[in-house]
Amino acid sequence: MRISIFGSGYVGLVTAVCLAKLGNEVICYDIDREKIDKLQKGIVTFFEPGLKDLIIKNLAEKKIFFTVDPLFAVRDRDIIFIAVGTPQKKSGEADLSYVKNAANEIGKNLKNYTVIVNKSTVPVGTGLLVENIIEKRNKHSFDVVSNPEFLSEGRALYDFMNPERIVIGSRSLRPKKIMNKLYESFSCPMINTKVETAEMIKYASNAFLATKISFINEIANICERVGADIEEVSYGMGLDSRIGNKFLNAGVGYGGSCFPKDVKALNNIAAVNEYDFKLLKSVIRVNNDQRKLIVEKAERLLGDLKEKKVCVWGLSYKPDTDDIRESAAIDIIKLFHKKGAIINAYDPKVNYDQLNKEVKFKNKIVFYMNKYDALKNCHGLFIATEWNEFRKADLKRIKSNLIEPNVIDGRNIFEIKSVNKHGFNYLSIGRS
């Protein structure tokens, strides 16, 4: 099929390369000329395993094209995906200005029947909004469909090619048939539904997963008080197929570009529709409090944090990505700074220049290229992200580089037995 994708960000690019791999001809459109120039040369400005290679391969095979020309992107297409950003406004609601701009450009340039697909996570009712914008500018027929993504950063290509379900929200048979044909090679359940239902499936899924995380974090906090072990509790719960073993890892709370934004947006959707989503409000509160608990733990081990040097391992919101959006590590560093602590930081993938540009730390922070060097002269180590290389770290070396053997393990990556053997003062999450 002939496909275009508006928005060459994370979701847009992953969708593009995978659809090209499936044999479609894909045009990627973006308003950012610099980004498009780079992509044309196979340069991707963020890290996602396998993405760069697939872009280069698709470029060489002429299956993928990049453009800033909206007419080229809209003309003679069977399907146009809208995969632009929907950042969060201060009020918590989703900012739809990029979606509206994309709809305007599509409306201006549409020349033949096309299915317009909302891939961005958008509030319920946005399908109708996009329809109205295009309709005002265009006499040609089209249909608007909702087809939410369920891609997890770090394994997005795998997720796209191995979906557990595909959700297609449409109003009539014609777009439904075209979308089902696009995905006909997948054997997973295809859920054909109303546009509004498809939009809600995405929000409800992310909000439920976030709820699971806040729930297990609260259980962990109780485990510490009653002497139970959260790892074993999670394992015991997860074997019940009604619960499932995923998203039951206690830690510093969820982050990233999706959960925090989508949970707040769903809370906002409820409020706008005069419904008080009490449970979701608590999910957000628990997640914020989980960050504060880390600082309390550090104070228990290090005493007053003023002028104390803390080493932070891991800055991305989860392993296998360089993404720092809504990362717990960044929030916690800010809390440490408020207490007067000095930070040494290390992350295997995060771009420190970019981070400094985006976050503007007000207090002292020094970035290291080697995790053991970062420990030197520090009064304690805080592990914020469970990168594999931290799990395999040499405990002897950690101990000898620190001034005091204090470790706050925000992701439960070390075995209690081995840290005890090495004589660490060790606090983790939900384990006594």
Whether residue 378 lies in the annotated active site: no
Nearest to ligand UDX of 373, 389 (CB atom): 389
Neighbours of 198 (CB within 10 A): 22
CB of 285 to ligand UDX, least distance (A): 16
Tokens of 328: 């717990």
316 binds ligand UDX (CB under 6 A): no
Question: How far, in Å, CA of 377 to CA of 375, rounded?
Answer: 6
How many residues can be counted in the chain?
Answer: 432
Question: How far, in Å, CA of 210 to CA of 263, rounded?
Answer: 8
Nearest to ligand UDX of 247, 361 (CB atom): 247
Question: How far, in Å, CA of 44 to CA of 321, rounded?
Answer: 13
User: Which one among 13, 182, 258, 365 touches ligand UDX, defined by CB under 6 A?
Assistant: 258
Scanning the structure block, which residue is given the tokens 């180590």? 381
DSSP one-letter code for 241: T
Q: What residue ranges in 298-424 does DSSP mark as E strands?
A: 309-313, 342-346, 365-368, 380-383, 406-409
User: Which one among 317, 346, 382, 414 touches ligand UDX, defined by CB under 6 A?
Assistant: 317
CB of 250 to ligand UDX, least distance (A): 7
Residue whose C-alpha is closest to residue 58's, from 14, 120, 6: 14
CB of 128 to ligand UDX, least distance (A): 23
Residue whose C-alpha is closest to residue 427's, from 249, 289, 299, 247: 299
248 binds ligand UDX (CB under 6 A): yes
147 binds ligand UDX (CB under 6 A): no
Scanning the structure block, which residue is given the tokens 């369920």? 150
Nearest to ligand UDX of 48, 143 (CB atom): 48
Scanning the structure block, which residue is given the tokens 């739809």? 96
Which listed range, 89-97, 147-155, 277-285, 294-302, lies at the site for ligand UDX (CB under 6 A)? 147-155
Instruction: Please work out the total of residues on this chain that contact ligand UDX, with binding judged by CB under 6 A.
Output: 18
User: Dihedrals φ, ψ of 65, to 5°?
Assistant: -135, 150
Q: Please tell me which residue in 18, 28, 258, 378 is annotated as part of the active site.
A: 258
105 binds ligand UDX (CB under 6 A): no
User: Which one among 48, 143, 149, 231 touches ligand UDX, defined by CB under 6 A?
Assistant: 149
User: Which one among 40, 67, 138, 152 touches ligand UDX, defined by CB under 6 A?
Assistant: 152
Nearest to ligand UDX of 107, 319 (CB atom): 319
CB of 401 to ligand UDX, least distance (A): 26
150 binds ligand UDX (CB under 6 A): yes
Question: How far, in Å, CA of 123 to CA of 391, rounded?
Answer: 39
318 binds ligand UDX (CB under 6 A): yes
CB of 318 to ligand UDX, least distance (A): 4
Question: How far, in Å, CA of 412 to CA of 428, rounded?
Answer: 6
Which listed range, 73-81, 139-147, 244-252, 421-429, lies at the site for ligand UDX (CB under 6 A)? 244-252
Question: How far, in Å, CA of 116 to CA of 81, rounded?
Answer: 6
Which residues in 395-424 contact ligand UDX (CB under 6 A)? none
3-state SS of 115-138 is EEEECCCCCCCHHHHHHHHHHHHC
User: Dihedrals φ, ψ of 19, to 5°?
Assistant: -65, -35
Which residues in 211-230 contact ligand UDX (CB under 6 A)? 213
What Cα–Cα distance (Å) separates residue 41 from each residue in 34, 38, 65, 417, 428?
11, 5, 11, 50, 45
User: Which one among 70, 163, 251, 348 touches ligand UDX, defined by CB under 6 A?
Assistant: 251
Residue 72: what residue type?
F
CB of 259 to ligand UDX, least distance (A): 5
User: Residue 3, SS3?
Assistant: strand
Which listed range, 1-9, 40-48, 243-251, 390-398, lies at the site for ligand UDX (CB under 6 A)? 243-251
247 binds ligand UDX (CB under 6 A): yes
State the binding string over 161-200 for ligand UDX (x if CB under 6 A, else -).
Answer: ----------------------------------------
28 binds ligand UDX (CB under 6 A): no
Nearest to ligand UDX of 160, 277 (CB atom): 160
Nearest to ligand UDX of 287, 344 (CB atom): 287
Scanning the structure block, which residue is given the tokens 């932070």? 312
The answer to whether residues 280 and 267 touch, using CB atoms and an 8 Å cutoff, is yes
73 Cβ partners below 8 Å, 6+ apart?
A: 4, 6, 27, 29, 67, 80, 109
CB of 246 to ligand UDX, least distance (A): 7
**Nearest residue to the partner ligand UDX, using Cβ:** 258
Rg (CA), the chain: 23
Q: Which residues bind ligand UDX (CB under 6 A)?
A: 149-153, 206, 213, 247-249, 251, 254-256, 258-259, 317-318
Catalytic residues, by residue number, are 258
